[in-house]
Structure 1
Amino acid sequence: MLRSPTRVVVTGAAGFIGSHLCERLLADGHEVVGIDSFSDYYERERKEQNLSAARAQPNFTLEVVDLVDADLARILAGATVVFHLAGQPGVRPSWGGHFDRYVHDNIVATQRLLESLRESQLQKLVFASSSSVYGDAEMFPTKESALPRPVSPYGMTKLAAEHLTFVYMRNFGIPATSLRYFTVYGPRQRPDMAFCRFMEALVDNEEIEIFGDGEQTREFTYVSDAVDGTVKAASADVVGQIINLGGGSRVTVNRVLDTLEDISRIKVRRLHLPAAPGDPRHTGASINLARERLGWEPRVSLRDGLTRQWEWFQEARGSVARATSV
């Protein structure tokens, strides 16, 4: 646990995980400076709603800037911890003509942030990496020592940003830790992510698109567990470490849909499509290092987490419908 009160910075504050992290840090008594560029990856209104609880707190300040050209010296002044969650997400959209956006948001923005931290008195930089850096791993559960073999442009940019972080650590002493998140889900999940798409299709009585046979496995991590591990990493003695944060078990996409069908009591209509390029067949995290070094353990089961996301989704859909009808 971080000492309270302290001044912390969260990049990507309006995003799915970032907004939850801001709320947790505020609840712990910290002064939180959020940074977000409100990129057009999905609707700004949705991101504004993500931040509504944080913005109601007097200890929260929001800086709407792009890390690449922001006055970071001013924004970072006095911060003891920086949580770097900002970046351009999405495996499938990273193919094709939008790759320069991934380079800008994931690599160049990270380099600019690191440059701004060279002369700081920072106690910890926590970098949000991704299980996508592993690609098609050779062993499961996958340990942090496994050779990264990203199979998408997105995964490549996250690995490059992770390497940059440790290059600056070795050369300039920036006390950095990298967390590799495994498929985080829960309330406020991005609309392009699988569980949100599944729920949208369910309530609209549409077919759920499944890329491949549905027997591919994923390690799903509930957002409060991911946030808890992130906060613990800020105070643990893990400088220079790469640490997996995963939900504790691998589950097939077909099993996810069976569980969602049971929770929602709506029959799932499945449409199988060809496997998407860049999607690894399996992901699975070894979380022994997180247990040993962070004292962290995932607490939310897939069924409980899906139930919470389904309840949030229904409420969010209802709020939109009520607003539209006024």
Structure 2
Amino acid sequence: MGQLEELENFVRIAEAGGIGRAADQLGLAKSVVSRRLTDLESRLGSRLIARTTRKWHLTEAGQRCYEQALRLLDASAELQATVNQQDQQLRGTLRIAAPLSFGVGHLAPVIEQFTKLHPELAIELDLSDRFVNLIETGVDLALRIGELADSSLRARKLAPISLCLVASPSYLAHAGTPTNPDQLKQHRLLQYAGTSLNSLWLTGPNQTLHQIDSVAKLKANNGDFLNAMAVQGYGIVCSPRFICWQDIKQGKLTVLLPEYTLPERALYAVYPSSRFVAHRVRTFIDFLVAYFSKHSEWENETPSPQQNQSRPGGNR
């Protein structure tokens, strides 16, 4: 086994947080990963990881080895990419993490088209709304929506993500249609878990800001479920257009207060900034940028006047 493989094995242990997780990510037996670490420590003549029954940490020598190993592995990957730059066929495994609702609704055609161009590339896709630590999990890139607080990651914007307030015609017929933000407080609101309607701001036609202070009657950690509840007439939801646009188009949901705007978000591709970006990762990100520049239907769909029209009955 080569020295680069030993170093890659060690880096994966350090980043994954243990031999067991590293073995899972490398697709190797735990005993193999452990033996490779022992061989590396023997060759270098220094202990790299201090282990106890409950926890472990990098030794001082281990931290120095980790930093140098990253540089060597990045240089090796960059050299290979430079030598093979004329070979456009991608190989290996591309590990991607993406939000559940967005992935289910919009990633299948992306993956299908990309793998047609690169049939020798394997894809591992993790669809979940939980936060994924790219370094610890060995994920190559993640798609994320909203503000990016992690400065250790690089990001490329892929598409705008706008929000809108929607409710079903049946709900509005029963509860009335709000004509200004203050009336939302009297309605049944649905909320994505982890966010607060108390911090929801709407900007009016004259650029005045309106804050919604109300307690949600239903919270859930999945946008598709909340959208389905809104379609069933349960209440009003602040939804990303990529979830609700088809129901708006079909008249199942009505956009409320269309003259007011909500803060716009964006879809990003994020990846570690401390690493050489593998050719397959760079190629996929470029493909995402090109794809979503032409396929952001949820943003291009404009509700008809009938869908935005306030129904009689006023506010309840």
TM-based fold match above 0.5: no
Q: Which structure is higher in RCO with an 8 Å CA cutoff and minimum separation 6?
A: 2
Structure with greater strand percent: 2
Which structure would you say has the larger Rg? 2
TM-score by length of 1: 0.29
Structure 2 length normalisation: TM-score? 0.30
